[in-house]
Amino acid sequence: MSERVTVDPTDCPSWSVLRTEADRMRQKSIRSLLRGDREFLRINAAAMSFDFSRQRLDAAVVDSLIQLAEETGVRQSIDAMFAGNRVNGTEGRAALHVALRSGLEDQYAVDGNEVAEDVHGVLERMETFAEEVRSGAHRGATGERITDVVNIGIGGSDLGPAMAYQALRAYRDPNITCHFVSNVDPADIIDVLSQVEPEQTLFIVASKTFTTAETMINAQRARAWIVDQLGDGAIGAHFAAVSTAEQHVHEFGIEPENVFGFWNWVGGRYSLTSAVGLSTMLAVGPACFRELLDGARAMDIHFRETPLADNAPVLMGLCAVWNRNFMQMSTSAVLPYSRDLARLPAYLQQLTMESNGKSVRVDGTPVTYDTGAVYWGEPGTNSQHSFFQLLHQGTEDLCSDIIISARPTASDQASGAGVVDQHDVLIAHALAQASVLSVGLTRGEVAATGVSEDLVPHKVMPGNRPVSVIMMDVLTPFALGALLAAYEHSVFVQASVWQINPFDQWGVELGKKVASGIVDDIHRRQVEDSELDPATQKSLAAYLARRDEASS
């Protein structure tokens, strides 16, 4: 995106057309739209189906959205990203996470250098290490087998692996349990350490620079725990690292053969398919991890090669632009009808909001239109008894993604009779919610049920809440990889239309810097002469007073 001329999307002819189309669509209901031919809004890609038929738009709107994509250079942006161009302009980097799941025959290059050999070299080293741990060839310092893996990371080094570990429950090795430590709150690592035995625990410290404050504080605490229990000589057997900072890793005491690198063209929130996925590979095995990569690659190929109008991630992204900019919806719910996908909404919060939470275009000029929406959600059916009341009858219009699988996993089906029937009930709930959110229930329909007149308005469901239904056959590693890649590319499409950089996160960096200064102030116990604003100085002084009073 940084390598082409920036345009203001509101100056594009299609933007004005879409504003007019939005006025027209507000006069139509999703219920009425569903009476027409909506097949053009159902797309199959990478063994998944994407059903956008419950969106509040028609063929004319889609045509205008495709025109907007063309006018804002979405296709050129896609080509630039896959070509390894420095599309992350503020950091002067490529964003070539698609190369992480490439085949050796795929020709991905950064600055003219082919990357496939390096990518597969790291992947093969990961596989060797994972097999050694899983087979018992790699053991703890006392000769015990590794039974627990603790991933220490934050942001993309935590959310992806933690989400994938839960999502792939049916494929996990029962002899290995993974734990995830991310929060600098000491309760996080204290809780995990209380559940594991040092002789049987492997820690993975995931930090590209090996300086991330929260990660290194937790890593040092884990290191001290191992040294206290097993001695300094145990570090090599009980720690691995995902990092490129060889000197820092060496000083920590981690053996070179247990260090797995990745590249500055891999952003944290796009890094699950890199060495950051080591804990996932340890849990499910190299073969399943390869299937995850294959699923992502299949969606990458679809995204790169399919015309815009038939492209699932493109339409996914354009629906998001339509709902955000023309239907004025500021929030989007992610509703996986799968307990195994419970961490997906949190993962997508980072992917979408860290990527597209921007108010400046790639050329440094301020945007004059809305960009990234707020993403949030919980799995169904629990969420139906939590916040669905607001979704159905609240004053805030919002859109939703409902994610379902046609079948339970094979291991769940094998667990006993009735599983398929129970899964049918789950999917019935999902489709019912998709229907009620989009179609609603009119005053006449409520009255026809015999409800008293004074109760009728309380039971009306306005509908017209757009819903996309994403369906996979079954939640496999392949399906998970394809699903995640679809969201990655949808986010990229939105950013391309909005002319923003989805690969930096300067809003995150400043808070880290200020926090470091406050830590120094706490250690010096100097509040009044700090460079903090007056309100923060008062809060810091109050904290120190309360802390000291409690400890005296």
DSSP codes of every residue in 281-312: HHHH-HHHHHHHHHHHHHHHHHHHHS-GGG-H
3-state per-residue secondary structure call for 494-531: HHHHHCCCCCCCHHHHHHHHHHHHHHHHHHHCCCCCCC
In the three-class reduction of DSSP (H, G, I as helix; E, B as strand; rest coil), residue 401 is classed as strand
pLDDT at 2: 42
CB 187 within 8 A of CB 195: no
- Residues whose CB falls within 8 Å of the CB of residue 516, separated by 6 or more in sequence, listed in order: 213
| pTM of the complete model | 0.95
Concatenated DSSP letters of 187-205: HHHHHHHTTS-GGGEEEEE
| 24-40 residue pLDDT tens | 999 999 999 999 999 99
Cα–Cα distance, 357 to 218 (Å, whole number):
28
Q: Catalytic residue, from 251, 305, 445, 512: name it.
A: 512
Average pLDDT over residues 439-447: 96
Of residues 250, 266, 156, 137, the one with CA closest to residue 202: 137
CB 164 within 8 A of CB 292: yes
| 353-379 residue pLDDT tens | 999 999 999 999 999 999 999 999 999
CB 275 within 8 A of CB 262: yes
| 152-200 residue pLDDT tens | 999 999 999 999 999 999 999 999 999 999 999 999 999 999 999 999 9
- 512 catalytic? Reply is yes
| 142-162 residue pLDDT tens | 999 999 999 999 999 999 999
Residue in this structure with the two tokens 């997906």, named with its chain if needed = 344
Identify the bridge partners of residue 472 per DSSP, sorted by sequence position: 48, 405
pLDDT at 478: 98
Residue 271 has pLDDT above 60, yes or no: yes
The radius of gyration of the chain's CA atoms, rounded to the nearest angstrom, is: 25
Q: What angle do CA 409, 410, 411 make, to 5 degrees?
A: 90
Q: Catalytic residue, from 385, 458, 513, 523: name it.
A: 385
Q: Catalytic residue, from 21, 291, 354, 488: name it.
A: 354
Q: What are phi and psi of 84, to 5 degrees?
A: 80, 20
Q: What angle do CA 42, 43, 47 make, to 5 degrees?
A: 130
In 200-270, where do the E strands start and end?
201-206, 239-242, 259-260
Cα–Cα distance, 342 to 60 (Å, whole number):
36
Give the type of residue at 392: H
Cα–Cα distance, 312 to 310 (Å, whole number):
6
